[in-house]
Structure 1
């Protein structure tokens, strides 16, 4: 069995990134953090059946990234802090970051109607009240989970059926199933529309707006919706539910906000550290991103948004109030293109944990969730 360990202490981060994260001095290595992550990572790897996993954790100024197994079956190459993987639906909380950033700068309001950002000549039907950007971000716009174009031409790319023009055409002739804000229905369609709205509010395409608002300010060198040649060489091979190598089909731009991002363990710990620093500093964009905007209590129905052990929705985050020894947690999972991902933040405990496995197994979701939440309870202070 192959395993590699990378300890990122505050003193090892480059000066540029240290300025971004506000790190001024090193702390002693956090032995408890290292040992807890080691045990959790090994268990997750053995239970997952995946060729490899990468796990990263942040507590205070200490950060740990560990890799287990192989980047691809039989490769003999250990995953490390620079291995590339797909974030899948964890991309949604990054879209929430873009939304919070633009709102904090006054470029949009969370309660803006979606229709404000619709393409020229496009219409958005309403049911009881208009769909807002906040409805989209909290999966409460009462829209379908997916919306494939039935007239899409045959293609080897399974994502080619998701078409921006068809999304907006459909919105013009179909009302939301319920009054927005009264139920949750997990919707990749909704996040596609949100990505378009963020692009328009930011004055460019979504990838550029994401890069300018999040990737560049945070120093995320390997987090984006498109891979360069060097990044393609570092991409782990994901396995589909039948253990076949996934072909890594590119998603169309309308899927960027819902599931398009690639990243690395190194970038994920930087991003988690930025979130935790923002919470401690009471930064405006972070306060927006961490708020529970839609409590589940009182909703007509809650479908597809990780209902068990959860209490409401933030900007893409599933919010769980403290229980069973675990602190308040913001969580998000994903599965796409041979990768399964899960991230939790506990802003009140200065704690973040991320894990990715390069194998899609929906039966593994519950085990992955429970073990990460157990680790959060162990590390909470």
Structure 2
């Protein structure tokens, strides 16, 4: 049987995957748009779950919850990866493939900003428990004097959730001035509120202490060493526009243009960051702006599971990985966060699903993106979509729960009941 015939078989009915993998092992490489199912998956992954994953995503596409997506599931080298749907709802739109580049939205916080801060901490340039005003004295107002870097990383600074859109502003310096002008609404270290402001400031801290913009620092110290070839800010500088999934399509009325940053002028956003704050900052912010592929994000997840190293290249120390992925929230905070990763905040419930235990970790992005990792079963999944196309109104949270649950159930033979809940809290 020719490889192309086997590929078509896998695409039509993923339940045949377990039969076909042994034959595929000796054939030519499967095209990127087809499922990737190594033979080892017969022992590591329950292939019967693959059809359920496909069905859940395809049903959401049929309901116009999202035009397209990529899903990547992995455990101990066994991989299931597939592209679904099309780039948009327009007639003749190109199919999504596993090479499609997506706006990763808030995954930026844990794929770019948090690891960059950790690297600078490893170099002795950042003290994670130092106060923000030690680095930015201009922020010493409005109750921010007690904010530490740890507070920013764990979203316990007391700062509001975002930088106001009005009056109109543009540029990193203007964003910094606004962030520094915002008063806290809660005493730092006493309250959890997910906040883009925290990570805007952290991204600017990376620039100040490294001497290079966040996008360049992350590219040089994270993506290039890890071989994440399609990951970075400002994708149109290196990726063909046709490979990037579009996000927002209007036209927007004047009030909406003000709300969305006006940079896009109401046009289709394709290769231009969806997040309005990051757009006002010319596409590079600590809170959003990163674009990536599922395969690249899988490499990053693999690195974290390997304690900061991948393919013989060390990117982060084991200590940095522990701080990013175990509970580091101040005592008394119920929402458990690492210095970056979500562990058990209200935002973790959907992507974790109903089976992965507390102690698994990950993050989501507003555009319809997930990375979720369980160190106990060594299983992780990546889901990238453009659910915000064309108008930001689609809700895919039920799909998140389905995917998180199915990903966990795919770990063949693992007893999740044996994992001690909340054991991760001992790391604080």
Question: Are the counterparts in 2 of residues 149 and 162 from structure 1 also a CA contact under 8 Å?
Answer: no
Question: Are the counterparts in 2 of residues 37 and 57 from structure 1 also a CA contact under 8 Å?
Answer: no
Match of 1:157 in 2: none
Deviation of the 1:270 alpha carbon: 1.2
Match of 1:138 in 2: 154
- The structure showing larger relative contact order (alpha-carbon pairs under 8 Å, at least 6 residues apart) is 1
1:243-269 Cα shifts (integer Å, max 9, x gaps): x98424442257522110000122111
Q: Secondary structure at the match of 2:107?
A: helix
- Does residue 283 (structure 1) correspond to residue 294 (structure 2)? The answer is no
CA distance in 2, matches of 1:194, 1:11: 48
- Does residue 59 (structure 1) correspond to residue 83 (structure 2)? The answer is no
> In 2 relative to 1, CA 44–97 (structure 1 residues): closer, same or farther, beyond 3 Å?
same
- Does residue 272 (structure 1) correspond to residue 307 (structure 2)? The answer is no
Match of 2:336 in 1: 312
> In 2 relative to 1, CA 285–46 (structure 1 residues): closer, same or farther, beyond 3 Å?
same
Gaps of 5+ in 1: 13-25, 153-160, 303-310
- Does residue 334 (structure 1) correspond to residue 334 (structure 2)? The answer is no
Question: Are the counterparts in 2 of residues 148 and 163 from structure 1 also a CA contact under 8 Å?
Answer: no
CA distance in 2, matches of 1:241, 1:37: 35
Match of 2:401 in 1: 370
Match of 1:106 in 2: 124
Larger-Rg structure = 2
Aligned pairs (5 A) from 1:44-83: 44-48=57-61, 49=64, 50-73=66-89, 74-83=91-100
Deviation of the 1:195 alpha carbon: 0.4
CA distance in 2, matches of 1:211, 1:10: 34
1:83-106 Cα shifts (integer Å, max 9, x gaps): 111001111111222222222333
Gaps of 5+ in 2: 1-10, 28-36, 252-265, 274-278, 311-316, 415-428
363-372 vs 27-36, which moves further:
27-36
Q: Secondary structure at the match of 1:349?
A: coil
Deviation of the 1:323 alpha carbon: 9.5
CA distance in 2, matches of 1:213, 1:117: 22
Q: Secondary structure at the match of 1:355?
A: strand
Deviation of the 1:11 alpha carbon: 12
1:244-299 Cα shifts (integer Å, max 9, x gaps): 9842444225752211000012211111111111279982221121121116x834
Deviation of the 1:171 alpha carbon: 4.9
TM-score of the superposed pair, with normalisation by structure 2: 0.70
CA distance in 1, matches of 2:88, 2:165: 33
> In 2 relative to 1, CA 184–106 (structure 1 residues): closer, same or farther, beyond 3 Å?
same
Aligned pairs (5 A) from 1:83-122: 83-94=100-111, 95-118=113-136, 122=138
> In 2 relative to 1, CA 356–324 (structure 1 residues): closer, same or farther, beyond 3 Å?
closer
CA distance in 2, matches of 1:126, 1:71: 45
The structure whose residues are more often strand, as a share, is 1
Count of aligned positions: 341
CA distance in 2, matches of 1:27, 1:283: 29
Deviation of the 1:146 alpha carbon: 1.6
Match of 1:124 in 2: 140
